[in-house]
Structure 1
């Protein structure tokens, strides 16, 4: 069973307001569409098939009724109740979501789904997929969720290319090379996620800019970087303010070198 990185979800009160700051950094993004059955809507920025979703609540009364969709229950809790914007969760792509659900149950996980999802694009086209969620431990890093798109990777890539959503950034041809997570225990977290995704952790190293001990899982499409702070720095700041969470967006292949905070996360351009 193979996995690929699909997307990082960033919770924002108004996803449409992400477009101008991204444009000013040379990053292309668009208004995405509406999830009518979930009460949410989004804006999107693509780096090949790996992308960032800026997700907001459009109709709280609908969103609050969701029970099994872990993404919607989290956005209601974090955005509506706590007022916390920022990176929140990642999605991992598979072509065998039903078999994955059975396998995860046999391994002792509590799962929700698969169940269908869809989004009405601004041009009226309906995009469809299936989702699978794992029950989270509230004291640990939120687990990834899994997605299986109705269309194949090849079909989706061609469609996104035709829409001008791929290869249209002003800072070169950036790839979403890594998404970073700040955690209390590097060893425990990377072991748990490595076993879930059947990936062997890379060698530990020190990320000087984050002032953290880090290890990576080389997931197809975009690597997952797990960091435990060594002292003062961006990683410690996020861990103290937000707890264990995604926090780093690492773009590689840009025409500049820069690091800045935006939308509640740390962005690193290389």
Structure 2
């Protein structure tokens, strides 16, 4: 069963500005750090089992040079859109998952090594996997992450840094709402990819719900994240 790892909000604001201005249930995000290879940086707000990432461009030339799927989507969306855009699901074994997706007929990015340098200079490492898609107005599939550290070890580090407080752990991402042009089509596509049954217009993960709503918006995107007290 998949778990939501994080949702991504594309913004033109800097992480320090986000950390000052944004507030959810009385809690401010923290500055995350830099993705030096991608030319981006982020702010983060953790909840009980997932988090929100505000992602923005720090080095435009470096961002333009990268072929990373998420950064290509960031550049495309920021031409006319700031807001929630994509999301990431956790996996314990991306190599195995990649083989499974290929067997199912999907083309993938392959497993991508990734890292972020924190404000203290520490380097955090993980792996990522994307389903190959055109970068356009259609809804991007979720992407996948495998952290270098075990979950409890990672959460304990976040607690010790003050990024994951008891107040943060009282929050949960209850529901993610996607605006799409054809609900039935998107439900079928995502249900097949994630091997999840549908119930009405909803897919149920172990720590959140995905809800698909018909819309005439130009872009099909994640549009609303429902955060509640756990």
Under a length normalisation based on structure 1, what TM-score does the superposition of the two structures give?
A: 0.79
Is residue 42 of structure 1 aligned with residue 18 of structure 2? no
Secondary structure at 1:5's aligned position in 2?
strand
RMSD over aligned Cα, in angstroms?
1.9
2:152 is aligned, of 139, 151, 154, to 154
Does structure 2 retain, via aligned residues, the 8 Å contact 1:28–1:169? no
- The match for 2:211 is 225
Is residue 246 of structure 1 aligned with residue 208 of structure 2? no
Secondary structure at 1:158's aligned position in 2?
helix
Is residue 75 of structure 1 aligned with residue 74 of structure 2? yes
| Separation in 1, partners of 2:86, 2:125 | 20
Structure 2 unpaired stretches of 5+: none
Structure 1 unpaired stretches of 5+: 205-214, 229-235, 255-270
Is residue 173 of structure 1 aligned with residue 166 of structure 2? no
- The match for 1:85 is 82
| Separation in 2, partners of 1:178, 1:112 | 27
Under a length normalisation based on structure 2, what TM-score does the superposition of the two structures give?
A: 0.92
Query: Residues 1-270 of structure 1 correspond to what in structure 2 (within 5 A)?
Result: 2-16=1-15, 17-23=17-23, 26-67=26-67, 69-79=68-78, 82-137=79-134, 138=136, 140-169=138-167, 173-202=170-199, 204=200, 215-228=201-214, 236=215, 239-240=216-217, 242-253=218-229
Flag the structure with more relative contact order, 1 or 2, with Cα contacts below 8 A and sequence separation at least 6.
2
For each residue in 1:141-174, what CA deviation from the matched residue of structure 2 results, as whole angstroms up to 9, or x when unmatched? 111111100011111111112222224548x922
Segments of 4+ in structure 1 off by > 6 A? Answer: none
For each residue in 1:55-96, what CA deviation from the matched residue of structure 2 results, as whole angstroms up to 9, or x when unmatched? 0011111111112x21011112222xx142111111111011
Give the count of matched residue pairs. Answer: 228
Larger CA Rg, structure 1 vs 2: 1
Does structure 2 retain, via aligned residues, the 8 Å contact 1:50–1:222? no
